[in-house]
Chain A
């Protein structure tokens, strides 16, 4: 039976487990499930085992290998690693080798963790199903005909199908939380500015954050303690103390005030989702949290605001992918203008092209004031909603997505339909607040449902604390999907 992250860490520390064995097991797990899931875009077996042996040698020599020694991690394809390729799920970067490691990768490695693989994603983070990957879709381990969610679909699928690893993802409008809920795992998007973005291929600079998808709130806490903190290479990362997140997860829910926003149970929400989430809120109430109804009145403007702002920033951030200094260059081209236009039309998938052009439209002369500035003003109203609500409550609780995982191919033709699945997650990015999804049950078809918790800026610990309290009282996060590389403990349902 594979171990959870904290057990691995403790076992390595006590000498009961070598790093080499731990990493070898991680790779074994990935290789077992990946033929069906197509979640791992690259596996670094040789390099990982070499690195693992190095760490074992340094432990033997008496050195402190770091708080995460023995833990394996995977990296979403839009985060730079010197090892292997960094493709962002796009043809335009299909052979790109980054000349540097992202800060988050560096921090995990210095903590003793070992990178074993990179994970599949919607191209450049644009999508909610991982069907927009240039390298084929990833499948949901709960039902392989269904999507795992996106854009961190590969990370979510592996987080469900394996145990004990840290799966780095990124979240611009829900790309960690939504796939976490579809795959029945825990996923956190930290407060904006909590974790460095240096090395994350930017989609929307003021919305993007790196976070993780893992087996439990405590495992996420252990990872966040290492990932969080000011990075001089990222001017948007704040210089705020990093608390002991793991310790916070042991504080329980008693005394915390929770708000349930009425706008987050929209018409058309899957009744099973509503049901599971209300049940989960009830559990929190029984654990000692006070629950009240609140209102975030500008919620219905969040999606359009997100579409405009993320599109605008993306159109600028993706301008650099032009076939000149790196990346895909069209073979047949004439002048330089032609080179740009052809490389980009051939290298980008349809959703990326669409969003880049919408973004250009939003910023263009004549429309800039109404669209871009207009959206920025509305964003402020949305932020104020949260500031107001957080004066009365410590956390906001709601569903992560109005629906559960859907069949591959279902929504891909209508982008606006797809945007609708993000409607409950985008507000966190717009308001720069932390948000996490925790599994809280399943539908009758066996598709996982996630409950989402939002906190005040830089109170990521409170979010994880509530999640941990919930997980101490329930077993949803221990449920085992049909496609998996681990065996549940005897007595747990499979």
Chain B
């Protein structure tokens, strides 16, 4: 299945990945994507109709945890690696309303 790797596609993927690449990296990535596509085109030789893609990697199901609480981390440990914090909160740059999150 011929898929064209456009500049727009590359930019969209980089944006979805939240990685700000340079124009040069964009060019390299475009070539890399094209190689991946070629790499993958061999799949088309195979007949995989009727095969369910969903398999769990081991024979297991219904693996549960009982509803019993365990001690949480201390606030110090929870925030230990936070780049910016204040008074027990993580600090991040101001989130504006229309940023594409779900924000319940």
Residues of A bordering B, CB below 8 Å:
95-97, 99, 192-193, 206-207, 232, 235-236, 238, 298, 300-301, 303-304, 307-308, 315, 319, 322-329, 333-342, 344-345, 348, 353-354, 356-358, 360-361, 364, 367, 370-381, 383, 415-416, 432, 457
Report B37 CB to chain A, min CB distance, Å. 9
The residue in chain B whose Cβ has the minimal distance to the Cβ of A298 is: B46
Q: List 19 A-B contacts (CB under 8 A).
A: A298-B46, A300-B42, A307-B40, A308-B40, A336-B99, A344-B20, A357-B13, A357-B14, A358-B36, A360-B13, A360-B17, A372-B53, A374-B53, A375-B40, A375-B43, A377-B48, A381-B51, A415-B32, A432-B58
Asked if residues B13 and A364 are in contact (CB atoms below 8 Å), the reply is: yes
Q: How long is the Cα–Cα vector from A64 to B48 in the complex, in angstroms?
A: 55
Q: Return chain A residues, CB-CB under 8 Å to B90.
A: 324-325
Report B49 CB to chain A, min CB distance, Å. 9
Asked if residues A345 and B19 are in contact (CB atoms below 8 Å), the reply is: yes
Asked if residues B81 and A325 are in contact (CB atoms below 8 Å), the reply is: yes
Asked if residues B51 and A357 are in contact (CB atoms below 8 Å), the reply is: no
The residue in chain A whose Cβ has the minimal distance to the Cβ of B73 is: A99
Asked if residues A335 and B57 are in contact (CB atoms below 8 Å), the reply is: no
Q: Return chain B residues, CB-CB under 8 Å to A416.
A: 35, 39
Q: Mark B28-59, 1 if CB is under 8 A from A, else 0.
A: 01001101100110110010100111110111
Q: Return chain A residues, CB-CB under 8 Å to B53.
A: 372-374, 376-377, 380
Report A383 CB to chain B, min CB distance, Å. 8
The residue in chain B whose Cβ has the minimal distance to the Cβ of A369 is: B53
Asked if residues B46 and A361 are in contact (CB atoms below 8 Å), the reply is: no
Asked if residues A327 and B83 are in contact (CB atoms below 8 Å), the reply is: yes
Asked if residues B81 and A345 are in contact (CB atoms below 8 Å), the reply is: no
Q: How long is the Cα–Cα vector from A212 to B67 in the complex, in angstroms?
A: 34
Q: Return chain A residues, CB-CB under 8 Å to B39.
A: 303-304, 307, 416
Report A421 CB to chain B, min CB distance, Å. 15
Asked whether B84 is an interface residue with its Cβ less than 8 Å from the other chain, the reply is yes
Q: Mark B1-40, 1 if CB is under 8 A from A, else 0.
A: 1010000010011111111110001000100110110011
Asked whether B104 is an interface residue with its Cβ less than 8 Å from the other chain, the reply is no
Residues of B bordering A, CB below 8 Å:
1, 3, 9, 12-21, 25, 29, 32-33, 35-36, 39-40, 42-43, 46, 48, 51-55, 57-60, 63, 65, 73, 77-78, 80-84, 90, 92-96, 99
Q: How long is the Cα–Cα vector from A341 to B14 in the complex, in angstroms?
A: 9
Tell me how many residue pairs across A and B have CB atoms closer than 8 Å: 151
Q: How long is the Cα–Cα vector from A244 to B54 in the complex, in angstroms?
A: 34
Q: Return chain A residues, CB-CB under 8 Å to B20.
A: 338, 341-342, 344-345
Q: Return chain B residues, CB-CB under 8 Å to A415.
A: 32
Q: How long is the Cα–Cα vector from A473 to B10 in the complex, in angstroms?
A: 55
Asked if residues A329 and B83 are in contact (CB atoms below 8 Å), the reply is: yes
Q: A370-B1, A415-B32 are in contact. Are A193 and B95 (CB under 8 A)?
A: no
Q: A193-B60, A235-B63 are in contact. Are A97 and B80 (CB under 8 A)?
A: yes
| From B42, B55, B93, contact of A304 by CB (8 A) | B42
Q: Return chain B residues, CB-CB under 8 Å to A337.
A: 18, 99
| From A329, A344, A373, contact of B84 by CB (8 A) | A329
With A335-B96, A345-B21 already in contact, 8 other A-B pairs whose C-beta atoms are closer than 8 Å? A325-B81, A357-B29, A376-B53, A376-B54, A377-B52, A378-B43, A381-B46, A457-B58
Report A31 CB to chain B, min CB distance, Å. 29
Q: How long is the Cα–Cα vector from A378 to B36 in the complex, in angstroms?
A: 16
| From A206, A307, A326, A340, contact of B81 by CB (8 A) | A326
The residue in chain A whose Cβ has the minimal distance to the Cβ of B40 is: A304
The 5 closest A-B pairs by CB, nearest first: A326-B81, A376-B53, A341-B20, A329-B83, A377-B48
The residue in chain A whose Cβ has the minimal distance to the Cβ of B54 is: A376
Q: How long is the Cα–Cα vector from A324 to B59 in the complex, in angstroms?
A: 36
Asked if residues B57 and A339 are in contact (CB atoms below 8 Å), the reply is: no
Asked if residues B57 and A193 are in contact (CB atoms below 8 Å), the reply is: yes
Asked if residues B82 and A325 are in contact (CB atoms below 8 Å), the reply is: yes
Q: How long is the Cα–Cα vector from A319 to B14 in the complex, in angstroms?
A: 12
Asked if residues B77 and A99 are in contact (CB atoms below 8 Å), the reply is: yes
The residue in chain B whose Cβ has the minimal distance to the Cβ of A339 is: B93
Q: A232-B65, A380-B51 are in contact. Are A344 and B18 (CB under 8 A)?
A: yes
Q: Return chain A residues, CB-CB under 8 Å to B14.
A: 357
The residue in chain B whose Cβ has the minimal distance to the Cβ of A414 is: B35
The residue in chain A whose Cβ has the minimal distance to the Cβ of B74 is: A99
| From B19, B60, B96, contact of A348 by CB (8 A) | B19
Q: Return chain A residues, CB-CB under 8 Å to B16.
A: 360, 364
